[in-house]
Amino acid sequence: MWTAYYLLKQQPDLKVVVLDAHVAGFGASGRNGGWCSALFPASIDAVAARSSREQALALHEHLVDAVDEVDRVLHTEDIDADFAKGGTVTLIRSQAQADRAAEELATAEDFGLTPHHTRPLDATQALSHLRATDVQGALFTPDCAAIHPAKLVRGLALAVERLGGIIYELSPVLDIKPGAVEGDGFTVRAPIVVRATEGYTPSLRSFKRQLTPVYSLVTATEPIPDAMWDEIGLTERETFSDYRRLLIYGQRTADNRIVFGGRGAPYHFGSRVAPAFDRDNAIFAELERSLVELFPVLQRTKITHRWGGPLGVPRDWFASVSLDPTTGVGTTGGYVGDGVGASNLGGRTLADLILSQSTPRTQLPWVNHTSPKWEPEPLRWIGVNAGLVAMSTSDPIEARTGKQAWRAQFASRFTGH
């Protein structure tokens, strides 16, 4: 949708068609946890190792700007998406977490990102943001906004239509080929075809092993009264997480709920994606337990919403934007859950490539990067689920011992960090 928007902004006479299997925002763009961040799936030192220090910093700077660019578009197009740039607080709650935070801080210092983009907080400073349990400190970045993702994507879809774009919803695509998109009973022909399908990519006949769909599940509380917010914090609607192995993420919404999600749901053999996989009662129960463990005041607060969906993971955890000039097929994606901000940059960059414009964006190290394909089954199923088990079982070990769990350290070698 971002690619369509920027194409039409730059060249209004283009004929741009968007096809969606469901409705705009049904996928990860509208059902994520609401972080519009400058995050990239691979760490900045991993990006530098694949390109250069200068290019890694340039990519980071463009991702930081993408957060503000989303806000600019919201104002330009009069979209109310509950945008609040309160930054992210990543808590340190054990010695093992402190060790990982120290490594991240050292990398940030090495790349000159402190204190403007990353700064350490002691326990008192961290608790001034959110009053969670067992807080020893935190790292803070201002480069993130809480957002209502469905409001963003639905508003963006309307903006694309106002600019002359055509959106066909309920139009599932079966395959993408040079010059053609093949659907269920239809074919759309165009000189340029863009694939932006993320976790649903393996459903396309020609792209079975390009990305692996990994599920992330999300919960939302009932609206929380003001008196309880005095005990929780998040007065600036900061997004929050901690340094546990199995990722969690949260935000305070504009209507005073907490949206809280995380990983842990299994990968399904053959990269299958199905509505039934959006709900996993065991994972929902673990998320609710984790939320109450962070904020005991929420023990009697009702969870009113539970949902989930797949995100797209490239084999090397390196998101990319590309355009093949010989076939006319463009792609953007592989965000591993960090796509609200990165997809904006990806859409702008792909629009530049399609319009044959050489810009600083088109020189970034993720442009025309090619990730290796995932292994065939059953190796893919074994590897992905083994990694999930390693991460989920490492957290209690590290909490008990205070030491890094070897199994998670081994698994992290394959995640771009």
Q: What would the pLDDT profile of 231-257 be if each residue is shown by its tens digit?
A: 999 999 999 999 999 999 999 999 999
Q: Taking each helix axis from N to C terminus, what angle separates 95-110 and 379-401, rounded to the nearest 10 degrees?
A: 110
Q: On the CB side of 61, how many CA atoms lie within 13 Å of its CA?
A: 12
pLDDT at 170 over 60: yes
Residue 206 pLDDT grade (very low, low, confident, very high; cuts 50, 70, 90): very high
In 222-366, DSSP assigns E strands to 239-242, 248-252, 258-262, 303-313, 320-324, 329-333
Burial 200-216 (b: 16+ CB within 10 A, else e): bbbbbeebbbbbbbbbb
What's the pLDDT tens digit per position in 106-127? 999 999 999 999 999 999 999 9
Check residue 411 and give its pLDDT: 63
> How is residue 244 annotated by DSSP?
-
- As a whole number, mean pLDDT of residues 362-382 equals 98
pLDDT at 203 over 80: yes
The structure tokens listed for 357 are: 């414009």
> How is residue 185 annotated by DSSP?
S
Of 131-135, 185-189, 261-265, 390-394, the poorest mean pLDDT is in 390-394
What does the DSSP assignment read for 81-136? Answer: ---B---EEEEE-SHHHHHHHHHHHHHHHHTT-TTTT-EEEEHHHHHHHB--TT--
Residues 6+ apart with CB under 8 A from 331: 194, 195, 196, 320, 321, 322, 323
User: What is the CA angle 342-344-348, rounded to 5?
Assistant: 120
Instruction: Tell me how far apart the alpha carbons of residues 350 and 359 are, in angstroms, rounded to a whole number.
Output: 11
Residue 400 pLDDT grade (very low, low, confident, very high; cuts 50, 70, 90): confident
Instruction: Tell me how far apart the alpha carbons of residues 177 and 67 are, in angstroms, rounded to a whole number.
Output: 33
Closest CA to 272 of 141, 409, 152, 381: 381
Identity (one letter) of the amino acid at 323?
A: L
Report the chain's mean pLDDT, rounded to a whole number: 96
Instruction: Tell me how far apart the alpha carbons of residues 122 and 13 are, in angstroms, rounded to a whole number.
Output: 54
Write down the number of H helices and E strands in the chain.
Answer: 12, 18
Instruction: Tell me how far apart the alpha carbons of residues 185 and 172 are, in angstroms, rounded to a whole number.
Output: 10
Check residue 407 and give its pLDDT: 75
Check residue 416 and give its pLDDT: 46
Residue 379 pLDDT grade (very low, low, confident, very high; cuts 50, 70, 90): very high
Which residue is listed with tokens 């649903």? 200
How many residues are recorded in the chain?
417
What's the pLDDT tens digit per position in 216-235? 999 999 999 999 999 999 99
CA dihedral sign of residues 342, 347, 349, 350: positive
What's the pLDDT tens digit per position in 291-350? 999 999 999 999 999 999 999 999 999 999 999 999 999 999 999 999 999 999 999 999
Closest CA to 69 of 353, 61, 194, 312: 61
Q: N- to C-terminal Cα distance for the chain?
A: 29
Domains of the chain (ranges, CATH numbers): 32-152+192-381 (3.30.9.10)
Phi, psi (deg, nearest 5) at residue 17? -120, 135
Closest CA to 238 of 94, 35, 101: 35
| pTM of the full structure | 0.96
Instruction: Tell me how far apart the alpha carbons of residues 342 and 348 are, in angstroms, rounded to a whole number.
Output: 10
> CB–CB of 393/22 below 8 Å?
no
Check residue 402 and give its pLDDT: 82
Identity (one letter) of the amino acid at 194?
A: V
The structure tokens listed for 295 are: 């904020």
Q: Which runs of consecutive H residues, i.e. helices, occur in 258-375?
A: 281-294, 339-354
Instruction: Tell me how far apart the alpha carbons of residues 369 and 55 are, in angstroms, rounded to a whole number.
Output: 13
The structure tokens listed for 255 are: 């209507």
Of 99-103, 117-121, 387-391, the poorest mean pLDDT is in 387-391
User: What is the CA angle 353-15-197, rounded to 5?
Assistant: 60
The structure tokens listed for 228 are: 């309880």
**Cα-atom radius of gyration of the chain, to the nearest Å?**
21
Check residue 404 and give its pLDDT: 85
